[in-house]
Protein backbone atom coordinates (compact mmCIF):
# COMPACT_ATOMS: atom_id res chain seq x y z
CA UNK A 1 0.00 0.00 0.00
CA UNK A 2 1.65 3.25 -1.14
CA UNK A 3 0.20 6.40 0.36
CA UNK A 4 0.61 9.98 -0.70
CA UNK A 5 3.34 11.68 1.28
CA UNK A 6 1.95 15.14 0.88
CA UNK A 7 4.55 17.27 2.62
CA UNK A 8 7.66 16.22 0.79
CA UNK A 9 9.82 18.86 -0.84
CA UNK A 10 9.21 17.65 -4.35
CA UNK A 11 6.28 15.32 -4.56
CA UNK A 12 5.93 13.50 -7.88
CA UNK A 13 2.33 12.62 -7.10
CA UNK A 14 1.36 16.27 -6.69
CA UNK A 15 2.79 17.47 -10.00
CA UNK A 16 0.12 19.23 -12.01
CA UNK A 17 -2.31 19.15 -9.12
CA UNK A 18 -5.28 21.44 -9.64
CA UNK A 19 -6.51 23.30 -6.66
CA UNK A 20 -9.70 23.92 -4.80
CA UNK A 21 -9.93 25.79 -1.51
CA UNK A 22 -10.40 23.66 1.59
CA UNK A 23 -13.35 25.70 2.84
CA UNK A 24 -16.16 26.58 0.49
CA UNK A 25 -17.17 30.18 0.59
CA UNK A 26 -20.49 31.92 0.20
CA UNK A 27 -18.88 34.79 -1.61
CA UNK A 28 -20.15 35.20 -5.13
CA UNK A 29 -17.22 35.59 -7.47
CA UNK A 30 -17.56 37.41 -10.75
CA UNK A 31 -14.95 35.22 -12.40
CA UNK A 32 -13.14 31.97 -11.82
CA UNK A 33 -9.53 30.89 -12.03
CA UNK A 34 -8.06 27.45 -12.38
CA UNK A 35 -4.50 26.88 -11.17
CA UNK A 36 -2.15 23.95 -11.62
CA UNK A 37 1.21 23.69 -9.89
CA UNK A 38 4.47 21.94 -10.78
CA UNK A 39 7.83 21.62 -9.08
CA UNK A 40 8.80 22.01 -5.45
CA UNK A 41 6.76 22.79 -2.33
CA UNK A 42 7.62 26.46 -2.68
CA UNK A 43 5.67 26.64 -5.93
CA UNK A 44 2.69 24.96 -4.27
CA UNK A 45 2.89 27.48 -1.43
CA UNK A 46 3.12 30.34 -3.94
CA UNK A 47 -0.06 29.14 -5.64
CA UNK A 48 -1.81 29.66 -2.29
CA UNK A 49 -0.56 33.27 -2.22
CA UNK A 50 -1.77 33.73 -5.81
CA UNK A 51 -5.18 32.33 -4.84
CA UNK A 52 -5.41 34.81 -1.99
CA UNK A 53 -4.53 37.78 -4.25
CA UNK A 54 -7.06 36.67 -6.86
CA UNK A 55 -9.79 36.07 -4.27
CA UNK A 56 -9.35 39.61 -3.01
CA UNK A 57 -9.89 40.77 -6.56
CA UNK A 58 -13.09 38.90 -7.28
CA UNK A 59 -11.79 35.61 -8.65
CA UNK A 60 -12.95 32.33 -7.09
CA UNK A 61 -11.09 29.04 -7.58
CA UNK A 62 -12.47 26.23 -9.69
CA UNK A 63 -11.11 22.76 -10.20
CA UNK A 64 -12.77 22.54 -13.58
CA UNK A 65 -10.57 24.17 -16.22
CA UNK A 66 -13.51 24.31 -18.64
CA UNK A 67 -15.46 26.74 -16.49
CA UNK A 68 -12.47 29.00 -15.79
CA UNK A 69 -12.04 32.53 -17.14
CA UNK A 70 -8.39 32.42 -16.19
CA UNK A 71 -6.09 29.41 -16.41
CA UNK A 72 -2.81 29.65 -14.52
CA UNK A 73 0.05 27.23 -14.61
CA UNK A 74 2.70 27.63 -11.92
CA UNK A 75 5.85 26.25 -13.49
CA UNK A 76 9.20 24.71 -12.63
CA UNK A 77 12.50 25.04 -14.52
CA UNK A 78 14.74 22.87 -12.40
CA UNK A 79 15.18 20.17 -15.05
CA UNK A 80 14.42 20.12 -18.77
CA UNK A 81 11.79 17.45 -18.23
CA UNK A 82 9.83 19.75 -15.90
CA UNK A 83 9.67 22.37 -18.64
CA UNK A 84 8.63 19.81 -21.25
CA UNK A 85 5.74 18.72 -19.01
CA UNK A 86 4.49 22.30 -18.86
CA UNK A 87 4.77 22.79 -22.64
CA UNK A 88 2.76 19.62 -23.20
CA UNK A 89 0.11 20.77 -20.76
CA UNK A 90 -0.16 24.11 -22.55
CA UNK A 91 -1.05 22.36 -25.80
CA UNK A 92 -3.98 20.78 -23.99
CA UNK A 93 -5.21 24.22 -22.91
CA UNK A 94 -5.11 25.31 -26.57
CA UNK A 95 -8.23 23.22 -27.28
CA UNK A 96 -10.07 24.78 -24.33
CA UNK A 97 -9.17 28.28 -25.45
CA UNK A 98 -10.56 27.61 -28.91
CA UNK A 99 -13.88 26.64 -27.34
CA UNK A 100 -13.89 29.70 -25.06
CA UNK A 101 -12.07 32.56 -26.80
CA UNK A 102 -12.27 35.04 -23.86
CA UNK A 103 -10.37 32.68 -21.60
CA UNK A 104 -6.92 33.91 -20.51
CA UNK A 105 -3.88 31.69 -20.00
CA UNK A 106 -1.11 32.80 -17.65
CA UNK A 107 2.26 31.22 -16.98
CA UNK A 108 3.64 31.80 -13.48
CA UNK A 109 6.79 30.81 -11.61
CA UNK A 110 10.28 29.79 -12.60
CA UNK A 111 9.72 29.09 -16.30
CA UNK A 112 8.03 32.47 -16.67
CA UNK A 113 11.04 34.10 -15.04
CA UNK A 114 13.57 32.15 -17.09
CA UNK A 115 11.98 32.71 -20.50
CA UNK A 116 10.33 36.10 -19.89
CA UNK A 117 8.66 37.64 -22.96
CA UNK A 118 10.22 34.91 -25.13
CA UNK A 119 7.50 32.67 -23.77
CA UNK A 120 4.89 34.74 -25.62
CA UNK A 121 6.69 34.17 -28.92
CA UNK A 122 7.16 30.47 -28.30
CA UNK A 123 3.68 29.71 -27.00
CA UNK A 124 1.15 31.85 -28.83
CA UNK A 125 -1.77 30.93 -26.61
CA UNK A 126 -0.16 32.46 -23.52
CA UNK A 127 -1.60 35.86 -22.53
CA UNK A 128 0.38 36.55 -19.35
CA UNK A 129 3.88 35.78 -18.11
CA UNK A 130 4.36 36.47 -14.41
CA UNK A 131 7.53 35.87 -12.38
CA UNK A 132 7.55 34.68 -8.74
CA UNK A 133 8.04 38.16 -7.28
CA UNK A 134 5.29 39.83 -9.33
CA UNK A 135 2.14 38.12 -8.08
CA UNK A 136 0.78 41.26 -6.43
CA UNK A 137 0.46 42.77 -9.91
CA UNK A 138 -1.61 39.85 -11.23
CA UNK A 139 -5.00 41.66 -11.03
CA UNK A 140 -3.61 44.55 -13.11
CA UNK A 141 -2.00 42.14 -15.56
CA UNK A 142 -5.32 40.31 -15.96
CA UNK A 143 -7.04 43.62 -16.75
CA UNK A 144 -4.35 44.40 -19.30
CA UNK A 145 -4.68 40.97 -20.90
CA UNK A 146 -8.47 41.33 -20.99
CA UNK A 147 -8.00 44.23 -23.43
CA UNK A 148 -6.27 41.84 -25.80
CA UNK A 149 -2.71 42.87 -24.98
CA UNK A 150 -0.07 40.45 -23.79
CA UNK A 151 0.92 41.17 -20.17
CA UNK A 152 4.36 40.49 -18.69
CA UNK A 153 5.91 41.18 -15.29
CA UNK A 154 9.05 39.28 -14.45
CA UNK A 155 10.74 41.83 -12.22
CA UNK A 156 12.61 40.20 -9.37
CA UNK A 157 12.58 41.93 -6.01
CA UNK A 158 15.10 42.24 -3.19
CA UNK A 159 12.43 42.46 -0.50
CA UNK A 160 9.16 40.83 -1.61
CA UNK A 161 8.17 38.05 0.82
CA UNK A 162 4.34 38.32 0.57
CA UNK A 163 4.51 38.50 4.37
CA UNK A 164 1.18 40.30 4.72
CA UNK A 165 -0.77 37.97 2.43
CA UNK A 166 -2.66 35.19 4.18
CA UNK A 167 -2.35 32.24 1.79
CA UNK A 168 -5.59 30.45 0.94
CA UNK A 169 -5.04 26.79 1.73
CA UNK A 170 -5.79 24.94 -1.45
CA UNK A 171 -6.69 21.30 -1.57
CA UNK A 172 -5.42 20.97 1.98
CA UNK A 173 -6.07 18.10 4.35
CA UNK A 174 -6.75 20.73 7.06
CA UNK A 175 -3.97 19.27 9.24
CA UNK A 176 -0.62 20.01 7.56
CA UNK A 177 0.43 23.26 5.87
CA UNK A 178 3.45 24.87 4.26
CA UNK A 179 4.65 28.20 5.62
CA UNK A 180 7.11 30.10 3.48
CA UNK A 181 9.85 31.74 5.62
CA UNK A 182 12.15 33.06 2.94
CA UNK A 183 12.45 33.46 -0.81
CA UNK A 184 15.25 33.26 -3.37
CA UNK A 185 18.74 31.86 -2.95
CA UNK A 186 22.19 33.40 -2.68
CA UNK A 187 24.07 30.18 -3.29
CA UNK A 188 25.36 29.59 -6.73
CA UNK A 189 25.35 25.84 -7.11
CA UNK A 190 26.71 25.41 -10.62
CA UNK A 191 23.87 23.16 -11.83
CA UNK A 192 21.00 25.20 -10.44
CA UNK A 193 18.66 27.66 -12.11
CA UNK A 194 16.93 28.78 -8.88
CA UNK A 195 19.12 31.85 -8.15
CA UNK A 196 18.21 33.11 -11.64
CA UNK A 197 14.50 32.36 -11.47
CA UNK A 198 13.76 33.28 -7.85
CA UNK A 199 16.29 36.03 -7.23
CA UNK A 200 18.23 37.08 -4.15
CA UNK A 201 17.61 35.50 -0.79
CA UNK A 202 15.37 37.41 1.63
CA UNK A 203 13.87 36.38 4.93
CA UNK A 204 10.30 36.98 5.95
CA UNK A 205 9.29 39.03 8.99
CA UNK A 206 9.34 36.79 12.10
CA UNK A 207 6.08 38.19 13.44
CA UNK A 208 4.15 37.45 10.25
CA UNK A 209 5.47 33.85 10.28
CA UNK A 210 4.39 33.33 13.90
CA UNK A 211 1.00 34.95 13.22
CA UNK A 212 0.45 32.59 10.26
CA UNK A 213 1.39 29.54 12.37
CA UNK A 214 -0.90 30.65 15.22
CA UNK A 215 -3.74 31.22 12.78
CA UNK A 216 -3.23 27.77 11.27
CA UNK A 217 -3.19 26.20 14.74
CA UNK A 218 -6.39 28.01 15.70
CA UNK A 219 -8.02 26.69 12.52
CA UNK A 220 -7.19 23.12 13.51
CA UNK A 221 -3.90 22.57 11.67
CA UNK A 222 -1.41 20.50 13.64
CA UNK A 223 1.72 20.58 11.49
CA UNK A 224 3.64 23.31 9.70
CA UNK A 225 6.58 22.85 7.33
CA UNK A 226 8.77 25.94 7.22
CA UNK A 227 9.89 26.41 3.65
CA UNK A 228 12.85 28.01 1.93
CA UNK A 229 15.58 27.01 -0.53
CA UNK A 230 18.06 27.27 2.32
CA UNK A 231 16.15 27.65 5.60
CA UNK A 232 19.23 27.57 7.82
CA UNK A 233 20.39 30.88 6.41
CA UNK A 234 17.17 32.54 7.62
CA UNK A 235 18.25 35.89 9.05
CA UNK A 236 15.83 38.64 9.92
CA UNK A 237 16.52 41.94 11.60
CA UNK A 238 13.78 43.45 13.68
CA UNK A 239 14.13 47.12 12.78
CA UNK A 240 12.01 48.13 15.79
CA UNK A 241 14.00 46.23 18.42
CA UNK A 242 17.28 45.97 16.52
CA UNK A 243 17.40 42.22 17.29
CA UNK A 244 18.54 39.66 14.77
CA UNK A 245 16.70 36.39 14.43
CA UNK A 246 18.45 33.23 13.24
CA UNK A 247 16.80 30.05 12.00
CA UNK A 248 17.33 28.33 15.36
CA UNK A 249 15.56 31.24 17.09
CA UNK A 250 12.69 31.16 14.59
CA UNK A 251 12.35 27.40 15.00
CA UNK A 252 12.08 27.82 18.76
CA UNK A 253 9.42 30.53 18.44
CA UNK A 254 7.34 28.39 16.07
CA UNK A 255 7.71 25.37 18.38
CA UNK A 256 6.38 27.52 21.21
CA UNK A 257 3.12 28.28 19.34
CA UNK A 258 1.78 25.06 20.88
CA UNK A 259 3.27 21.73 21.93
CA UNK A 260 0.50 20.21 19.79
CA UNK A 261 1.82 21.87 16.63
CA UNK A 262 4.40 19.75 14.86
CA UNK A 263 7.17 21.67 13.14
CA UNK A 264 9.13 20.52 10.10
CA UNK A 265 11.44 22.45 7.79
CA UNK A 266 13.04 22.15 4.39
CA UNK A 267 15.60 22.53 2.82
CA UNK A 268 18.85 22.55 4.80
CA UNK A 269 22.06 23.29 2.95
CA UNK A 270 24.73 21.20 4.73
CA UNK A 271 27.03 24.21 5.03
CA UNK A 272 24.45 26.23 6.98
CA UNK A 273 22.75 23.88 9.45
CA UNK A 274 24.23 24.67 12.87
CA UNK A 275 24.54 22.85 16.19
CA UNK A 276 22.20 25.50 17.57
CA UNK A 277 19.48 24.25 15.19
CA UNK A 278 20.17 20.64 16.20
CA UNK A 279 20.02 21.51 19.93
CA UNK A 280 16.74 23.39 19.37
CA UNK A 281 15.34 20.30 17.65
CA UNK A 282 16.43 18.22 20.61
CA UNK A 283 14.87 20.64 23.11
CA UNK A 284 11.35 20.61 21.63
CA UNK A 285 9.45 17.37 21.28
CA UNK A 286 7.18 18.91 18.65
CA UNK A 287 10.05 19.74 16.25
CA UNK A 288 10.19 16.62 14.11
CA UNK A 289 13.35 14.56 14.09
CA UNK A 290 13.87 14.69 10.39
CA UNK A 291 16.33 16.61 8.23
CA UNK A 292 16.45 16.96 4.46
CA UNK A 293 20.17 17.42 3.78
CA UNK A 294 20.89 17.37 0.03
CA UNK A 295 24.38 16.04 -0.71
CA UNK A 296 24.22 16.11 -4.56
CA UNK A 297 27.42 14.03 -4.97
CA UNK A 298 29.76 11.90 -2.87
CA UNK A 299 32.87 13.04 -4.73
CA UNK A 300 34.78 16.01 -3.35
CA UNK A 301 36.03 16.88 -6.84
CA UNK A 302 32.47 17.01 -8.21
CA UNK A 303 31.20 18.88 -5.15
CA UNK A 304 33.81 21.53 -5.81
CA UNK A 305 32.79 21.82 -9.47
CA UNK A 306 29.18 22.06 -8.29
CA UNK A 307 30.21 24.91 -5.98
CA UNK A 308 28.58 23.23 -3.01
CA UNK A 309 31.33 24.59 -0.70
CA UNK A 310 31.81 21.37 1.32
CA UNK A 311 33.78 18.19 0.83
CA UNK A 312 32.66 14.60 1.15
CA UNK A 313 34.42 14.36 4.54
CA UNK A 314 32.82 17.56 5.78
CA UNK A 315 29.35 16.31 4.81
CA UNK A 316 29.95 12.97 6.54
CA UNK A 317 31.10 14.82 9.68
CA UNK A 318 27.85 16.82 9.56
CA UNK A 319 25.78 13.63 9.33
CA UNK A 320 27.73 12.19 12.26
CA UNK A 321 27.07 15.34 14.28
CA UNK A 322 23.33 15.11 13.53
CA UNK A 323 23.27 11.49 14.70
CA UNK A 324 25.28 12.42 17.81
CA UNK A 325 22.93 15.22 18.90
CA UNK A 326 19.74 13.63 17.57
CA UNK A 327 20.15 9.85 17.65
CA UNK A 328 17.61 8.25 15.36
CA UNK A 329 16.98 11.45 13.41
CA UNK A 330 15.46 10.71 9.98
CA UNK A 331 17.63 11.83 7.08
CA UNK A 332 16.82 12.45 3.44
CA UNK A 333 18.81 13.86 0.54
CA UNK A 334 18.97 14.95 -3.10
CA UNK A 335 21.50 13.40 -5.46
CA UNK A 336 22.49 14.26 -9.02
CA UNK A 337 24.05 11.51 -11.17
CA UNK A 338 26.28 12.31 -14.12
CA UNK A 339 27.27 15.91 -13.48
CA UNK A 340 29.85 17.33 -15.90
CA UNK A 341 33.14 15.35 -15.99
CA UNK A 342 31.87 12.75 -13.48
CA UNK A 343 34.04 9.62 -13.74
CA UNK A 344 33.28 6.09 -12.65
CA UNK A 345 35.45 6.75 -9.59
CA UNK A 346 33.38 9.84 -8.69
CA UNK A 347 30.23 7.77 -9.09
CA UNK A 348 31.63 5.07 -6.80
CA UNK A 349 32.26 7.82 -4.23
CA UNK A 350 28.58 8.74 -4.42
CA UNK A 351 27.56 5.11 -3.95
CA UNK A 352 29.84 4.67 -0.95
CA UNK A 353 28.53 7.89 0.62
CA UNK A 354 24.94 6.73 0.12
CA UNK A 355 25.92 3.42 1.67
CA UNK A 356 27.39 5.25 4.66
CA UNK A 357 24.49 7.67 5.22
CA UNK A 358 21.68 5.12 4.72
CA UNK A 359 19.07 7.75 3.92
CA UNK A 360 15.44 7.15 4.82
CA UNK A 361 14.37 8.98 1.68
CA UNK A 362 16.22 10.30 -1.36
CA UNK A 363 15.28 12.34 -4.42
CA UNK A 364 17.58 11.19 -7.18
CA UNK A 365 18.01 12.77 -10.61
CA UNK A 366 20.34 12.61 -13.56
CA UNK A 367 22.00 15.88 -14.46
CA UNK A 368 20.05 18.12 -16.80
CA UNK A 369 21.92 21.14 -18.11
CA UNK A 370 20.01 24.38 -17.57
CA UNK A 371 20.72 27.40 -19.79
CA UNK A 372 22.43 30.30 -18.07
CA UNK A 373 23.69 28.35 -15.05
CA UNK A 374 27.37 28.37 -14.06
CA UNK A 375 27.75 24.78 -15.25
CA UNK A 376 26.21 25.54 -18.64
CA UNK A 377 28.64 28.43 -19.09
CA UNK A 378 31.78 26.80 -17.70
CA UNK A 379 31.66 23.07 -18.27
CA UNK A 380 30.71 20.56 -20.92
CA UNK A 381 27.77 18.28 -20.26
CA UNK A 382 29.97 15.37 -21.26
CA UNK A 383 28.59 12.31 -19.48
CA UNK A 384 26.56 10.36 -22.08
CA UNK A 385 22.86 10.12 -21.24
CA UNK A 386 22.97 6.31 -21.10
CA UNK A 387 25.79 6.48 -18.53
CA UNK A 388 23.94 9.09 -16.45
CA UNK A 389 20.84 6.89 -16.42
CA UNK A 390 22.78 3.73 -15.59
CA UNK A 391 24.51 5.48 -12.65
CA UNK A 392 21.21 6.88 -11.46
CA UNK A 393 19.69 3.40 -11.50
CA UNK A 394 22.57 2.09 -9.38
CA UNK A 395 22.08 4.87 -6.84
CA UNK A 396 18.31 4.27 -6.77
CA UNK A 397 18.79 0.51 -6.29
CA UNK A 398 21.13 1.03 -3.35
CA UNK A 399 18.89 3.63 -1.75
CA UNK A 400 15.78 1.45 -2.16
CA UNK A 401 17.47 -1.28 -0.17
CA UNK A 402 18.35 1.19 2.61
CA UNK A 403 14.90 2.71 2.77
CA UNK A 404 13.30 -0.75 2.94
CA UNK A 405 15.67 -1.66 5.77
CA UNK A 406 14.76 1.59 7.51
CA UNK A 407 11.05 0.67 7.27
CA UNK A 408 11.73 -2.87 8.46
CA UNK A 409 13.63 -1.58 11.51
CA UNK A 410 10.41 0.15 12.60
CA UNK A 411 8.36 -3.06 12.71
CA UNK A 412 7.53 -3.84 16.33
CA UNK A 413 8.09 -0.23 17.48
CA UNK A 414 5.41 2.19 18.65
CA UNK A 415 5.20 5.72 17.23
CA UNK A 416 3.25 8.85 17.97
CA UNK A 417 1.31 9.57 14.80
CA UNK A 418 -0.50 12.70 13.68
CA UNK A 419 -3.65 11.63 11.83
CA UNK A 420 -3.91 13.41 8.46
CA UNK A 421 -7.09 11.78 7.17
CA UNK A 422 -8.56 8.57 5.83
CA UNK A 423 -6.26 6.18 4.08
CA UNK A 424 -6.64 6.68 0.32
CA UNK A 425 -7.55 3.04 -0.10
CA UNK A 426 -10.03 2.56 2.71
CA UNK A 427 -12.32 4.71 4.84
CA UNK A 428 -11.89 2.18 7.60
CA UNK A 429 -8.24 3.12 8.02
CA UNK A 430 -6.48 6.30 9.16
CA UNK A 431 -3.32 7.63 7.50
CA UNK A 432 -0.84 9.68 9.46
CA UNK A 433 2.85 10.32 9.79
CA UNK A 434 5.49 9.57 12.36
CA UNK A 435 7.90 12.16 13.67
CA UNK A 436 10.40 10.75 11.12
CA UNK A 437 8.04 11.51 8.25
CA UNK A 438 7.01 7.94 7.52
CA UNK A 439 3.42 7.27 6.47
CA UNK A 440 1.63 4.90 8.82
CA UNK A 441 -1.74 3.30 7.99
CA UNK A 442 -3.85 1.71 10.69
CA UNK A 443 -7.45 0.53 11.22
CA UNK A 444 -9.74 3.05 12.90
CA UNK A 445 -11.42 0.35 15.00
CA UNK A 446 -13.86 1.91 17.46
CA UNK A 447 -11.64 4.67 18.78
CA UNK A 448 -13.24 8.13 18.82
CA UNK A 449 -10.52 9.82 16.77
CA UNK A 450 -10.44 12.53 14.14
CA UNK A 451 -7.91 13.90 11.72
CA UNK A 452 -5.60 16.27 13.58
CA UNK A 453 -5.49 13.93 16.61
CA UNK A 454 -2.35 12.27 17.90
CA UNK A 455 -2.32 8.56 18.57
CA UNK A 456 0.26 5.91 19.47
CA UNK A 457 0.45 3.17 16.86
CA UNK A 458 2.45 -0.04 16.95
CA UNK A 459 3.95 -1.01 13.59
CA UNK A 460 3.14 -4.59 12.60
CA UNK A 461 4.38 -4.75 9.04
CA UNK A 462 5.67 -2.56 6.22
CA UNK A 463 6.07 -2.10 2.51
CA UNK A 464 8.87 -0.12 0.86
CA UNK A 465 6.94 3.14 1.31
CA UNK A 466 4.43 2.64 4.12
CA UNK A 467 4.22 1.33 7.66
CA UNK A 468 1.12 -0.63 8.68
CA UNK A 469 0.07 -0.83 12.31
CA UNK A 470 -2.51 -0.94 15.06
CA UNK A 471 -3.58 1.67 17.59
CA UNK A 472 -1.92 1.11 20.92
CA UNK A 473 -2.92 4.18 22.88
CA UNK A 474 -4.88 7.36 22.28
CA UNK A 475 -3.07 10.54 23.10
N1 LIG B 1 17.74 24.37 -2.26
C2 LIG B 1 17.85 22.99 -2.24
C3 LIG B 1 19.29 22.58 -1.99
O4 LIG B 1 20.15 23.35 -1.79
O5 LIG B 1 19.56 21.41 -2.06
C6 LIG B 1 17.27 22.30 -3.45
C7 LIG B 1 16.72 23.06 -4.56
S8 LIG B 1 16.27 22.23 -6.05
C9 LIG B 1 14.66 22.88 -6.20
C10 LIG B 1 15.94 20.55 -5.68
C11 LIG B 1 16.93 19.58 -6.22
O12 LIG B 1 16.88 19.52 -7.63
C13 LIG B 1 18.39 19.87 -5.94
O14 LIG B 1 18.76 19.54 -4.63
C15 LIG B 1 19.10 19.03 -6.96
O16 LIG B 1 19.35 17.72 -6.50
C17 LIG B 1 18.09 18.96 -8.10
N18 LIG B 1 18.56 19.75 -9.25
C19 LIG B 1 18.75 21.07 -9.30
N20 LIG B 1 19.24 21.43 -10.51
C21 LIG B 1 19.35 20.28 -11.23
C22 LIG B 1 19.81 19.99 -12.54
N23 LIG B 1 20.25 20.95 -13.35
N24 LIG B 1 19.78 18.70 -12.96
C25 LIG B 1 19.35 17.72 -12.13
N26 LIG B 1 18.91 17.95 -10.89
C27 LIG B 1 18.91 19.21 -10.43
FE1 LIG C 1 19.85 25.79 -6.05
FE2 LIG C 1 21.99 25.52 -4.49
FE3 LIG C 1 20.23 27.47 -4.00
FE4 LIG C 1 19.57 24.93 -3.54
S5 LIG C 1 21.18 26.08 -2.51
S6 LIG C 1 18.34 26.46 -4.60
S7 LIG C 1 20.61 23.85 -5.17
S8 LIG C 1 21.55 27.30 -5.82
Question: Quick check: CB of 370 below 6 Å from ligand 1?
Answer: yes
**Closest-approaching ligand to the CA atom of 363:** 1
Question: Quick check: CB of 192 below 6 Å from ligand 1?
Answer: yes
Q: What does the pLDDT read at residue 15?
A: 72
92 within 8 A of 109, measured Cβ to Cβ: no
Q: What does the pLDDT read at residue 241?
A: 79
Distance between CA atoms of residues 451 and 449, nearest Å:
7
Question: Quick check: CB of 229 below 6 Å from ligand 1?
Answer: yes
Nearest CA to ligand 2 atom 4: 229
322 within 8 A of 359, measured Cβ to Cβ: no
354 within 8 A of 395, measured Cβ to Cβ: yes
Question: Quick check: CB of 294 below 6 Å from ligand 1?
Answer: yes
pLDDT tens across 286-302, in order? 999 999 999 999 999 99
pLDDT tens across 227-255, in order? 999 999 999 998 887 899 999 999 999 99
Q: Which of 198, 269, 370 to mutate to test the pocket of ligand 2 (most atoms within 8 A of CB)?
A: 269
Going from the C-alpha of 187 to that of each of 128, 192, 371, 468, the distances in angstroms are 29, 9, 17, 40
Distance between CA atoms of residues 147 and 136, nearest Å:
19
Q: pLDDT tier at 9 (50, 70, 90 boundaries)? A: low
Q: Which of 78, 185, 294 to mutate to test the pocket of ligand 2 (most atoms within 8 A of CB)?
A: 185
**Closest-approaching ligand to the CA atom of 229:** 1
The mean per-residue pLDDT over the stretch 155-172 comes to 92
How many residues are there in the chain? Answer: 475
Distance between CA atoms of residues 394 and 397, nearest Å:
5
Q: Radius of gyration (Cα) for the chain, nearest Å?
A: 22
Residue 1 has pLDDT above 50, yes or no: no
Q: Is the pTM of this model over 0.85?
A: yes
pLDDT tens across 57-103, in order? 999 999 899 999 999 999 999 999 999 999 999 999 988 988 888 99
Question: Quick check: CB of 185 below 6 Å from ligand 2?
Answer: yes
The residue that leads in pLDDT, 172 or 218, is 218
Percent of the chain topping pLDDT 90? 86
**Closest-approaching ligand to the CA atom of 335:** 1
Ligand 1 mean position to 74 CA, how many Å?
18
Residue 318 has pLDDT above 90, yes or no: yes
Nearest CA to ligand 2 atom 5: 187
Amino acid sequence: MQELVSNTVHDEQRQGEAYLPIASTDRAFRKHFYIESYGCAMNFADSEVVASILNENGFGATRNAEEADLILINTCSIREKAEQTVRKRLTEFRKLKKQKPGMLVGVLGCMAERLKAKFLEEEKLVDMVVGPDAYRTLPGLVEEAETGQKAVNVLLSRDETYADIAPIRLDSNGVTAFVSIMRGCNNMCAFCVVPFTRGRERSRDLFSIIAECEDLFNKGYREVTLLGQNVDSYYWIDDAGGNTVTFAMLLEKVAQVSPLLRVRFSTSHPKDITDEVLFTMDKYENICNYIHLPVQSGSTRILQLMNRTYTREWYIAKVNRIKEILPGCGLSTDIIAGFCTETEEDHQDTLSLVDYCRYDLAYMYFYSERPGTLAARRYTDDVPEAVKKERLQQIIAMHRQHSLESMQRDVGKTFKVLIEGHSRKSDLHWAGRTDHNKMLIFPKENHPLNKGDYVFVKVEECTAGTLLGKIELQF
